[in-house]
Structures are given as C-alpha cells and as structure tokens.
Amino acid sequence: MQSAYTVLILLMLVSVSKLVGRVLPVPLPLVQIGAGALLAWPTLGFHVTLNPELFLFLFLPPLLFADGWRIPKRELWRLRGPVVALAVGLVLFTVIGAGFFIHWILPDIPLPVAFALAAVLSPTDAVAVSAITQGRLPTPLMHMLQGEALLNDASGLVTFKFALAAAITGVFSLADASLTFALVALGGLALGVALSWLLGRLRMWMIARGWDDPATHVVFMLLLPFAAYVLAERLGASGILSAVAAGMMQSWLDLLPRQTSTRLLNRSVWSLLEFAFNGLIFLLLGLQLPDIVKAVASHETSLWPTLAYRCFDVLAIFAVLIVLRFVWVQSIWRSIGVIRRWRGKPALVLVPTARSCWLLTLGGVRGAVTLAGVMSVPLLIAPGSAFPERDLLIFIAAGVILLSLIGACVALPLLLRGVDKSPDERLQQEVDAARKLTAEAAIHALEAEEVIDAGTAPDAAQATLATELKARLMAEYREALESFDDTDEARALAQQMDQLERRLRLKALRAQRLELYELHRRHRVGDEVVRKVLGELDMAEANLGQGR
C-alpha cells in the first residue's frame, strides 16, 4: 500500500504544482523541483527509491513517442540541415569537448564515464523553452529547437549508452562503435516504423469489422511505445530511436477513417500522460536532491566546503556547455545565412544574427530526458564494485538542469524584448486556406447529395422543407434549424429533418476531412495545420453524436 500512497501523493503534487505555477512567475519545472525538495525535507521525511532500469523504461518511451508524434514533420524536413547539425553534430562536439573538460576538472571521473556524462547532458527540452517564452520565440527558431530536442534525445542517449558500455567493459573501438552505432540506429528506426505500421494494419482490420471502440484503440497506442522500446532492446537495436520512429509513423496512421471518437480520446489521454510524466520526473528530481547532496559529501569530513566545491564544478561544466553550444550555433547560423543569401532567399527570421544565436544557445534547456538518462546509470559496474562517481554524475546533471532552467528564465525574456509577438502569418494563411478548401469540398458533397432517397414519394411539404434545409446547410453551414410547431405531424416531420440534417452534416464533415487529408498528402499544409483543422472537424462531428 505504501507504493500506492506514494504514487497518489506525487500525482496530487503534480496537479497542485500546475496551479501554483499559474500564480508564481516561475516556470513549472522549477516549481515541481522545489515541491519535491520541500517534500523530501527531513521534517516531512518523504523518500522515494528509484530503480534505474525501471525509471528509464517507464518514462522515456512514452515521452519520446509523444514528441515523435507531434513534431511538425514538414517543417522538420525544411530545416533538416540546421536541425541535423544541432541534433547530431552538436551532440558529438559536446561529448568530445565537454567530456575532456569534465575529466580534466574532475580526474576521479574516468574518461569514458566523462564522455557518458557529456552525452546525457546533450539532450534538450523544447517544452520547457515553449513554457518560458510563451509563444514569443520566432517560429523557425522554435521549430529548430523542437527538431533538435527530438533528434538529440535519440543521438545523445544512444551515444550515452555506448560510452556507458565502454566504461563498464573497458573496451572501445571507434570503427566498431561507428558501425555498431549505425546498425543500432537503423535497426531501431526500422523496428519502430514496422511495429507502428503493423498496429495500423491491425486497427484498420478491426475498424472494417466494426470493432472501433475508442478505448480499445487508445490502449493499443498507449502500449505501442513500450512494445517498440522492449522489442528493439531485445533485438540489440536502439529502443529510444524505435519509440521515436513509432511515434512519427503513428501520426500518419492517426488519419484512419471512422476514428473521430478515438482521436478525441487519444489526444486527451496523451495530454494527460505527458503532463503527469513530465511533472513526476521533475518532482522526483526534487525528491532526490537531499540524497544527492548527502551522497556527494558522504566521503568528506565537512559538508559545506565540499558542497561549495561541487557547485563550482557544476557551474564550470555548465559554462563550458554554453560556450560549446554558442560556438557551434554561431558557425551553423552564419553558414545558413551565407547559403540563403547565395541562393537568393530571405533570412529565416527577422532577428539580428547575434540575438538569434543567443536565443538558440540559451534555448538549449536540459530537462526530463537528461534526468531520466542519468538516473539509469547502473549502481554497480561489476558484482561487488560500485559504478565510479555515480552520485557525482547525478549531482552534476541535476545542477546543469537547474542552471539551464534558471538561465533561460532570466535571459530569454530579455532577448525577446522588442521581438514581434504577432502569430505566424504563414501558419495562419495555411489554416485559413485549409478551412476554405474543406468548406468548398463540403458544399460540393452536399450539391451531389440526393436529399430524398430514391424510390420514395414524399409529400410536397416534406420535399419543400428538405430542399430548404439543404440550401441552408450549404449557405449557412453551422447555423441551427429553426424550431417547428408542437403538432404530432410537425414533430414527426421535424424528427425526419433532424435525421436528414445529421446525415448531410456528417457527409459534409467527411468531405472536409478527405480534402484535408489530400492537402496534407500533397504537402500543401503541414502537420500543425492538419492537427488544428482536424481537431475542429472532429469536435463538430462529436457534437452531432455517435462520431466516427
């Protein structure tokens, strides 16, 4: 029962922290870390023991799956050059530069372990940046940070696992590691796509037989990231990349027909899951802080001098990470500017180059993935032999997360002063165009619809009312029917008209949805537009009842 009480208390704290975050001008992750640390205060004595492998398995697959699902893939493809440079090139640059620096400043940490720590410090958290900037960050920069956060979660954690294996076995070959990295990465991607595709085929088979209960389909999709992760790990591939690929593939399969209710339920469930899991991770970080501090200073005679030295180490490592990121971002951003000018294209954003570079640099906030990764470091390197400086690694990672969050909270609002806060015009234009084209598709579908079924001989009054109803639906698509009088004959006729209205509206909505799918297939609208307009259509169909 103690475990159940612990889970319930943590979930309650996640909800309360959201309310507190609305009152205090502090980002939600910092509120949750503070709440966890307060709960772990000796007077309260709340303690949670974490199993590293269980922590990694429970939190990472669903979070990475959701990131892959929601990433705007068309925008990711358009910015593929800078995104890959940040998500892969910057990770390797950070691992090498920060790894050697960590080993130099802390000689007790072996070089392979230092590389592992640098790798786990590489993943960034675009969700925290979005919460801090509140939509004021220019859209291209936000898309770059989102794409980087998605891909460097995978590249950073895969590199982390290789460095960890080298630290445990003491064997490392660059050629073998490069080949193994490619095989593990491609294998993970292929398994994730294949498993997601198979689930899509299974769902289509179920839908064709009328087994379209939303709860069943949503449970299958909840299990998919865990299945993709476990299968890939069992086969020696990357479970992290498998979960990401499954999420990206599932966003295409989300457009299956007769799934309005499933999509609505699925969005709600995943929003809840992401909120709870992200909150739990930061709460657990706060809960672990007292133990982390005690463990770091446990072998020393005095607490405060040791803690001060360790805090200085964290500050130095964070500063090096900022410098490395700024150098890389500066070179990449200026290269992009030169290439775009050479090709005769306008700048990505109307923000000065120096400010854009600092926004991208300080936007590299560390978050849940870094914590989940470092918590997965094994307790033992061999039977009877503790992993070297495991407590110090966790202390450094926790300190970097806190410093990156605090630094972003202070610096990003200052850098965004004077930046236009108007919404993305291109996105709004695409949304308006999608609404217009889908409405035209609905009108064409209504024009081709036979109002009165063939073979029936309705009276003149019924035929007239049906024709008027069809014209009103085409001209005023969302207006309600006028009320009828209370006679039995009128009520029966009104019921027939209600059924007819529902049939016509469903046909129009489905025509709109098909047109939206076609626009997406031809790459005329992006994932964000599809998600927004499809949500509106699904809600409209759900309001008619028995949405499919």
Q: Which residue has the higher pLDDT, 537 or 172?
A: 537
DSSP category for residue 385 = E
Structural domain of 487: 426-543
- Give 460's contacts (C-beta < 8 A, 6+ positions apart): none
Q: Is residue 296 part of a domain?
A: yes
Question: Does pLDDT of 274 surpass 50?
Answer: yes
Query: What number is the average pLDDT over the span 381-399?
Result: 76
The answer to whether the beta carbons of residues 238 and 185 sit under 8 Å apart is yes
Q: What is the pLDDT of residue 524?
A: 79
Weakest-pLDDT range from 42-46, 129-133, 401-405, 530-534: 42-46
Q: Is residue 418 located within the same domain as residue 433?
A: no
**DSSP-derived pairing of the beta strands 385-386 and 380-382:** antiparallel
Q: What is the pLDDT of residue 97?
A: 92
Nearest to 134 by CA among 380, 409, 472: 409
Q: What is the pLDDT of residue 282?
A: 80
CATH number at residue 213: 1.20.1530.20
Q: What is the pLDDT of residue 191?
A: 93
Share above pLDDT 90 across residues of the chain, in percent, rounded to a whole number = 8
Q: Is residue 230 located within the same domain as residue 352?
A: yes
- Angle, CA 285 vertex, CA 157 and CA 88 arms, to 5°: 20
Nearest to 78 by CA among 348, 361, 428: 348
Q: Is residue 493 located within the same domain as residue 347?
A: no
User: How many Å apart are CA 304 and CA 289, to the nearest integer?
Assistant: 15
Q: What is the pLDDT of residue 318?
A: 94
**Residue indicated by tokens 């990505």:** 348
Classify residue 234 as exposed, middle or buried by CB count within 10 Å of its CB (0-12, 13-18, 19+).
exposed
User: How many Å apart are CA 317 and CA 195, to the nearest integer?
Assistant: 40
Report phi then psi at 531, rounded to 5: -60, -40
- Which residues face 300 on adjacent strands? none
- Give 218's contacts (C-beta < 8 A, 6+ positions apart): 262, 265, 266, 269
Q: What is the pLDDT of residue 480?
A: 33
Q: Is residue 491 located within the same domain as residue 458?
A: yes
Q: Is residue 548 part of a domain?
A: no
Q: Is residue 222 located within the same domain as residue 355?
A: yes
Strands in 198-268 per DSSP E: none
| Identity at 483, one-letter amino acid code | S
- Angle, CA 233 vertex, CA 180 and CA 65 arms, to 5°: 105
Q: Which of 268-277, 283-292, 447-456 has the highest mean pLDDT?
A: 268-277
Q: Which residue has the higher pLDDT, 155 or 119?
A: 119
Question: pLDDT digits over 466-484, tens only?
Answer: 666 666 666 654 333 334 3
Q: Is residue 484 located within the same domain as residue 442?
A: yes
Question: Does pLDDT of 172 surpass 50?
Answer: yes
Question: Does pLDDT of 448 surpass 80?
Answer: no
- The separation between CA 504 and the C-alpha centre of its own chain, rounded to angstroms, equals 37
Q: Which of 20-29, 197-206, 536-545 has the highest mean pLDDT?
A: 197-206
Report phi then psi at 545, rounded to 5: 90, 145
Q: Is residue 226 located within the same domain as residue 280?
A: yes
Q: What is the pLDDT of residue 316?
A: 94
Count: domains in the chain: 2
The number of beta carbons lying within 10 Å of the beta carbon of residue 406 is 14
Q: Is residue 13 part of a domain?
A: yes
Question: Does pLDDT of 502 surpass 80?
Answer: no
What is the residue-averaged pLDDT of the chain? Answer: 77
Q: Is residue 432 located within the same domain as residue 402?
A: no
Write out the DSSP string of 317-344: HHHHHHHHHHHHHHHHHHHHHHHHHHTT
Question: Does pLDDT of 517 surpass 90?
Answer: no
The answer to whether the beta carbons of residues 167 and 381 sit under 8 Å apart is yes
Nearest to 240 by CA among 144, 174, 150, 180: 150
**Residue indicated by tokens 């989102």:** 146
- Token digits of residue 314: 């964290």
Q: Is residue 153 part of a domain?
A: yes
User: How many Å apart are CA 363 and CA 369, to the nearest integer?
Assistant: 15
Q: Is residue 444 located within the same domain as residue 408?
A: no
Q: What is the pLDDT of residue 228?
A: 92
Nearest to 496 by CA among 441, 540, 456: 456
Q: Give the SS3 label for residue 493.
A: helix
Q: Is residue 479 part of a domain?
A: yes
Q: Which residue has the higher pLDDT, 364 or 295?
A: 364
Question: pLDDT digits over 27-71, tens only?
Answer: 777 888 888 888 877 666 677 776 666 777 888 788 888 878 877
Q: Is the pTM of this model over 0.85?
A: no
Domain endpoint, select from 407, 422, 437: 422
- Which residues face 380 on adjacent strands? 386
Question: Does pLDDT of 447 surpass 70?
Answer: no
Q: Which residue has the higher pLDDT, 28 or 400?
A: 400
Domain endpoint, select from 373, 393, 422: 422
Q: What is the pLDDT of residue 21?
A: 77
Query: What number is the average pLDDT over the span 4-10?
Result: 80
The answer to whether the beta carbons of residues 372 and 123 sit under 8 Å apart is no
| Identity at 430, one-letter amino acid code | E
pLDDT band, very low/low/confident/very high, at 302 (cuts 50, 70, 90): low
Q: Give the SS3 label for residue 204.
A: helix
Nearest to 118 by CA among 317, 405, 313, 377: 317
Domain endpoint, select from 422, 448, 476: 422
pLDDT band, very low/low/confident/very high, at 413 (cuts 50, 70, 90): confident
Query: What number is the average pLDDT over the span 93-98?
Result: 92
Question: Does pLDDT of 503 surpass 90?
Answer: no
Q: What is the pLDDT of residue 98?
A: 93
Q: Which residue has the higher pLDDT, 37 or 494?
A: 37
Question: Does pLDDT of 266 surpass 90?
Answer: no
Q: What is the pLDDT of residue 164?
A: 80
Rounded alpha-carbon distances, angstroms, from residue 62 to 88, 214, 345: 22, 19, 38
Rounded alpha-carbon distances, angstroms, from residue 90 to 67, 122, 188, 330: 20, 8, 22, 12
Nearest to 48 by CA among 287, 355, 336, 265: 287
User: How many Å apart are CA 479 and CA 473, to the nearest integer?
Assistant: 8
Q: Is residue 496 part of a domain?
A: yes
Strands in 338-471 per DSSP E: 380-382, 385-386
User: How many Å apart are CA 18 and CA 32, to the nearest integer?
Assistant: 8
Q: Is residue 356 part of a domain?
A: yes
Question: pLDDT digits over 321-357, tens only?
Answer: 999 999 998 888 778 777 777 877 766 665 566 787 8
Q: Is residue 485 located within the same domain as residue 447?
A: yes
Q: Is residue 369 located within the same domain as residue 461?
A: no
Q: Which residue has the higher pLDDT, 172 or 413?
A: 413
Nearest to 371 by CA among 346, 352, 398: 398
Q: Is residue 495 part of a domain?
A: yes
User: How many Å apart are CA 70 and CA 527, to the nearest integer?
Assistant: 8
Instruction: Find the distance separating the first CA and the last CA of the chain, reported in whole Å.
Output: 41
Q: Is residue 323 located within the same domain as residue 462?
A: no
Report phi then psi at 386, rounded to 5: -70, 150
